[in-house]
Amino acid sequence: MNRLLLAAVVTALYLLHQDVWFWREARPLVFGFLPVGLAYHGLYCVAVSLLMWTLTRIAWPAHLESSPEDGTRDVRR
């Protein structure tokens, strides 16, 4: 369930990158100088950071850190 929900959130955030709603608008100017399309994508970066924080909390692949007891070999010549 958690995995499905996370996959849905990741997909939704990907789709939110395609923000056609601010395509032709410069106003309102956030803080008086940032065009809204630019401010949106600044906030988008913050949202991605929060998503990654969530992923590291809920879906961190901790099992990768432990070395297996067999199957280890040096592939370098």
Partner 1 sequence: MIPAIIVCAYLALVLYIGIFAFRRGGAGTAEEYFLAGRSLGPAVFLLSLFGTNMTAFTILGSAGHAFGNGIVTFSLMASASAFVIPLTLFFMGTRMWALGKRHGFMTPVQMFRDRWECGHIGTAIFAVQAALLVPYIVIGVMGGGTALRGISGGLVPFWLGGAIVAMVVMSYVFFGGMRGTAFVNTFQTVLFLTFGAIALVVIGRGMGGFPAAIESLLASPATAPLLTRERISPWYYFSYTFIPLSTIAFPHIAIFCLTARRMVQFKRTVIFYPLCILAIWLPCVFLGVAANSLRDVPQIGQKLEARASLAALPASAPAEERAALRRQSAGDDVVLVMLDRFAPLWLAGILGAGIMAAVMASDSQILALSTMFTEDVFAFYGGKVRFGEQVQVQTGRLFVVLLTILAYAIALRAPQGIFDLAVQYAFSGYAALSPLLVAALFWKRSTKWGALAVTLWVAVAVIYTSQVPGALAWYGLLPVVPMTVISSILMVAVSLATPPPSPDTVRRYAL
3-state secondary structure of 75: coil
35/30 Cα distance (integer angstroms): 6
Beta bridge partners of 34: 30
26/38 Cα distance (integer angstroms): 9
Residues 40-59 contacting partner 1, CB under 8 A: 41-42, 44-46, 48-49, 52-53, 55-56
Answer for which of 1, 3, 61, 69 binds partner 1 (CB under 8 A) is 61
Q: Does 13 bind partner 1 (CB under 8 A)?
A: yes
Answer for which of 7, 9, 58, 60 binds partner 1 (CB under 8 A) is 60
Token duo for residue 28: 């309102």
Q: Does 10 bind partner 1 (CB under 8 A)?
A: yes
Q: Does 3 bind partner 1 (CB under 8 A)?
A: no
